[in-house]
Amino acid sequence: MLTTRGHIIDGAGYAKSLRDRLAEHVSSLQEVSGKTPCLVVVIVGEDPASQIYVKNKGEQTQAIGMESRTLRLPDTTSEAELLRLVDELNRDPVVNGILVQLPLPAHMSSLKVIDAINPDKDVDGFHVTNAGRLAVGLDGIVPCTPLGSLMLLKDAAEKFGDTLRGKNAVIVGRSNIVGKPMAQLLLAQDCTVTIAHSRTQNLAEVCRSADILVAAVGRAHFIKGDWVKDSAYVIDVGINRIQVETPEGSKSKVVGDVDFEAAKANALAITPVPKGVGPMTIACLLNNTIKAFCLQNGLAIPDGV
């Protein structure tokens, strides 16, 4: 039975069911094509958080029956060397998806490296061609975190017999990888979209106008409970590591951009951190790799991908 407030959106559960569906697609695609979708993840340097993300991506790719390759380069790699590797992967017919893990070391331009990836293999959906396709409403590869957030929102609305159409959506954060594509996706769902950022005035008031509030700021507990409108949908994209004091001493903890407990009291439905948007990001990466594989091999894209 659904309560009218504080429904927790189970991102981890949704991601698991999505991965199960994708595993079935991989198996049927192998049957019809005799090939296995292949995702290559390139990581440069030793950033600890990136190492964990890349390990998880590799494991989950294999778990649904796809081929996973991880190429680890030292942070002394030059930009020219990385661009040469991307070019080789672009031309390798076995490789369907290429993901260059961000952030890159400071001596490299991530925009230049992303621009070098063949848009058909750009499973992160960050290439300007895919960003442009999304902006003009053409089918393309959509960035994973906003795509996963939209899936959770649609599913939550459906559970309440509701629709996203016509709702006021406020996105806090305007990055190319989360805020801007999220805005495009919600616009395409007929929401009225506001993108807020660090220069936005009266941010609390802007947030209070949101039927759908998406936080992609990168600051722990930045969105306060009383910024959340009564019965709003809240999607917390933030991943922030903080130190908390416990009887056993100081411990590190991952929290979102939203003050979860306070916001939950007002929200109709809200994603937790962890186990909210995070697991959806990798599941959508697998989704995008299957889509890229189908497009490259002239195969029908399975329903829902």
Binding site for ligand NDP (CB under 6 A): 145, 172-175, 177-179, 196-200, 203, 216-219, 237-240, 277-278, 281
Nearer to ligand NDP, 218 or 302 (CB): 218
Nearer to ligand NDP, 131 or 177 (CB): 177
Q: Which of 156, 141, 137 is nearest to 236 (CA)?
A: 156
Selection from 235, 232, 50 nearest residue 146 by Cα: 235
124 a catalytic residue: yes
Query: How far apart, in whole angstroms, are the C-alpha atoms of residue 68 and residue 38?
Result: 6
| Active-site option among 10, 57, 122, 184 | 57
Shortest Å distance, C-beta 143 to ligand NDP: 9
CB 224 within 8 A of CB 262: yes
Q: Which of 124, 211, 236, 259 is catalytic?
A: 124
Active-site residue, selected from the candidate residues 60, 101, 184, 189: 101
Query: Residue 258, SS3?
Result: strand
Q: How far is the CB of 280 from ligand NDP (least distance, A)?
A: 7
Is-catalytic flag, 253?
no
Nearest residue (CB) to ligand NDP, 35 versus 275: 275
51 is known as an active-site residue: no
| Of 146, 145, 149, nearest in space to 233 by CA | 149
| Whole-number Å distance between alpha carbons of 154 and 6 | 17
Q: Which is nearer to ligand NDP, 145 or 266 (CB)?
A: 145
288-to-9, 39, 152, 213 alpha-carbon distances in Å: 22, 10, 17, 25
Q: Work out how close the CB of 218 gets to ligand NDP at its nearest, in angstroms, rounded to a whole number.
A: 3
What pairs with residue 254 in β-bridges?
241
C-beta of 137: minimal distance to ligand NDP in Å?
A: 23
Name the one residue in this structure whose structure tokens are 């001493």: 249
**Residues 6+ away with beta carbon under 8 Å from 48:** none
- CB of 37: closest distance to ligand NDP in angstroms? 21
Q: Indicate the residue whose CB is closest to ligand NDP.
A: 175
With respect to ligand NDP, which residue has the nearer C-beta, 45 or 179? 179
| Residues known to be catalytic | 57, 101, 124
